[in-house]
Chains A and B, each alone.
Chain A
Amino acid sequence: MTAPKERSKLLQVSDLSVSFEMDEGEAQALDGVNFEVGHGQTLGLVGESGCGKSVTALSIMRLLPKPMGKIPTGNILFEGVDLLQLSPDKMREVRGNEIGMIFQEPMNALNPVKRIGDQIGEVYLLHHRMQKKDAWDKSVEMLEKVGIPSPRTRAMEYPHQLSGGMRQRVVIAMALACSPKLVIADEPTTALDVTVQAQILALLDELQKSLRSSVLLITHDLGVIAETCDEVCVMYAGRIVERASTQELFANPRHAYTRGLLSSIPRLDGVPKTKLVAIEGMVPSLSELKPGCRFAPRSGLHHPSELLDEKLPYREISPDHWVEACPVCSDS
């Protein structure tokens, strides 16, 4: 949505579109997504399931399922290099080395038949061409860094021997093993209990500071966003509807969807047993999307047909606060 103002951004995603070929036709998962992540910054992507958060992460990592996933337009500049143009070999050097990824479900992200030490060591073997023994020692060191007690014995264990929180620590150790410049965390705490979630978020914050990495945090939990992110993008049905600094977004939401999302969460200081503000209906199916305002059917507000059929521009309402300029849904 912006022309690159400064050259200093670590990651610049511009006009990214992703479509999937399905039996029923083409489904557009992302439509013209723009955002930037600065050095040392944490950017949050928030939205409901099916809005395209994970697809965004997978396209940055070039891990979209083939051959159904296609990227017809857009570019992803990482330190000035377009990741979409890299050869598969070059991309493999970036993955895990310069960009690390933390997945949602640690049990699925780990190999059940390999020792934890070997799994983390793999990263060093691949990217640093280390000896096996050195890689093992580095893994133990990494396990210690993510707060796993008695790392030397733990490294010998298999994923099923660890608790959920421990497994997520192992996944984090793996993602951060090569001190990546960018960490993509896709719902890193969704599968965990609140108490463990607090541990993991504190750990991520601490590691981010010591490694000076940038983080792209994907979540559906606005509470997690409020506590960890500098800037937030709110996604809906494949588009970013609003982008602002965390403070600004929570204090001053300008899009109807953001407002609906913020008011639909039950709050600890709210009046109990009162009716919650609910967004009616549900996220539209990807194959029936229109180019214009996608929140129109759920907003309960009348939209003239030109707002549905034409792609809407973005407008900067106040400095660094961007909103999809639907005159009905956003007060721009």
Chain B
Amino acid sequence: MSEEENILSIENLRVYFPVRGGVFRRSKGFCKAVDGVSLILKDGQTLGLVGESGCGKSTLAKTVVGLIKPTSGSVKFKGNEVLRSGRSMPKSYRREVQMVFQDPAESLNSRHTVGAIVREPLEIHGMGNRDQQNERVIHLLEQVGLPASCSTRYPFEFSGGQRQRIGIARSLALNPDMLLLDEPVSALDVSVQSQVLNLLMELQNKLGLSYMFIAHDLAVVKHVSDMIAVMYLGKIVEIASAEELYSNPLHNYTKALISSIPLPDPTQSTSKVIIPGDVPSPINPPPGCAFGHRVSSPRYPESIGEILEMKEIEKNHWVLACPCCVSG
């Protein structure tokens, strides 16, 4: 894989939050929200990221856009390192990578007009004069399927789907190359969800965008992604192409996750693998493999003390080689 093809490569990224307590608020330990994640996103493609709540998906996305400072690791954008110690991310990077948030009602300023919301990134980065900016705002709104007259209205006047379109228009204001979509359709109804997914796929084709698509709905992720990474308790457990991951899941967690999706087809017999319990706390993770511990796998003791690494089992199919969760 040549370096130029990768628009984003994350290497060994760690985000640890100190857990403070006691009289002097001393650090008692760490919450390992993201624990050694390496990912690659190829230019013009979509990388899906799935996992249960609390597994670190959103922390990872926020770290990549620079909203959270990582503990260690490297993030390269088009081959250039963007994590510079003691300094913020380069301004060009912040222009080229944008984020769309989950809840469109909370990520839009309710006291600003839609026009002002979409224009704000242009003002911050000093792009063009007022007339050019207004022209751009109207163009952006039309691009996401909203009439130009929207720009003088306020967010509360819009439905959930339309608000998400406003959020997308804002993220496109600076002509980014890459979008981080953090659960962009989870708050929407099914019929509106498909409208927004269609819009996102259309924009990707038209503007040549790369997406990092975070969601917990596996069917949605499969529909839009080229590659999918499965995350569990701060670690990536499996990466493969969308087709491969669903037809040939290797890690037990991926298998269980896929089998727990309710299928909209009553004729299919359901043989569910029900995972007991919840995701363990990242503050006090079990000593060995976190998933083997949750399902009390008989081979769990073998994973204690072992350093688990990603292995490429088939071409472009990587799995966290843990003795209790991967057979063979």
Contact = CB atoms under 8 A, between A and B. Distances in A.
A202 B264 contact: no
A261 B266 CA distance: 15
Nearest to B223: A266
B52 A195 contact: yes
A270 interface: yes
Contact of B219 (A48, A246, A267): A267
Interface in B219-272: 219-220, 222-225, 242-243, 246, 256-258, 260-267, 270, 272
A272 B263 contact: no
Contact of B52 (A193, A262, A276, A277): A193
Contacts of B261: 194, 223, 268
Contacts of B225: 272
A194 B218 contact: yes
B317 to A, nearest CB: 17
Contact of A202 (B159, B224, B274): B274
Contact of A193 (B53, B190, B191, B258): B53
Contact of A268 (B53, B218, B266): B218
Contacts of B191: 48, 260-261, 264, 278-279, 282
B201 A273 contact: yes
Given A198-B272, A268-B222, A262 B264 contact: yes
A251 B264 CA distance: 11
Contacts of A272: 222-225, 242-243
A261 B202 CA distance: 21
Given A199-B274, A221-B262, A223-B262, A261 B190 contact: yes
Interface string A195-219: 1111101100000000000000000
Contacts of B220: 266
Determine the interface band of chain A, counting residues with CB < 8 A from chain B: 35 or more
Given A194-B216, A260-B191, A250 B201 contact: no
Interface string B300-324: 0000000000000000000000000
B135 interface: no
A251 B262 contact: no
A276 B198 contact: yes
A221 B261 CA distance: 11
A278 B219 contact: no
Contacts of B276: 199
A220 B216 contact: no
Contact of B262 (A196, A199, A224, A277): A224
B43 to A, nearest CB: 16
Contacts of A273: 201, 223-224
Contacts of A261: 190-191
B8 to A, nearest CB: 20
Contacts of A265: 190, 194, 219, 264
A198 B189 contact: no
B228 to A, nearest CB: 10
B275 interface: yes
A166 interface: yes
A226 interface: yes
A223 B272 CA distance: 14
Contact of A276 (B194, B217, B266): B194
B278 interface: yes
B194 A266 contact: yes
A197 B265 CA distance: 17
Contacts of A48: 189-192
A85 interface: no
B197 interface: yes
Nearest to B192: A282
With most chain A CB atoms within 10 A of its CB, the pick from B190, B192, B261, B274 is B190
Nearest to A149: B277
Interface in B14-44: none
Nearest to A225: B264
A267 B264 contact: yes
A200 to B, nearest CB: 10
A283 B266 CA distance: 27
Given A267-B219, A276-B223, 12 more contacts: A197-B260, A199-B275, A226-B265, A261-B191, A264-B191, A264-B193, A265-B190, A268-B246, A272-B243, A279-B194, A282-B192, A283-B189
29 contacts: A48-B191, A193-B53, A193-B216, A195-B256, A196-B52, A223-B262, A250-B267, A262-B264, A264-B190, A264-B194, A265-B194, A266-B197, A266-B219, A266-B222, A266-B223, A268-B222, A268-B258, A268-B263, A272-B225, A272-B242, A272-B243, A273-B224, A275-B201, A276-B197, A276-B223, A278-B191, A278-B195, A278-B198, A282-B161
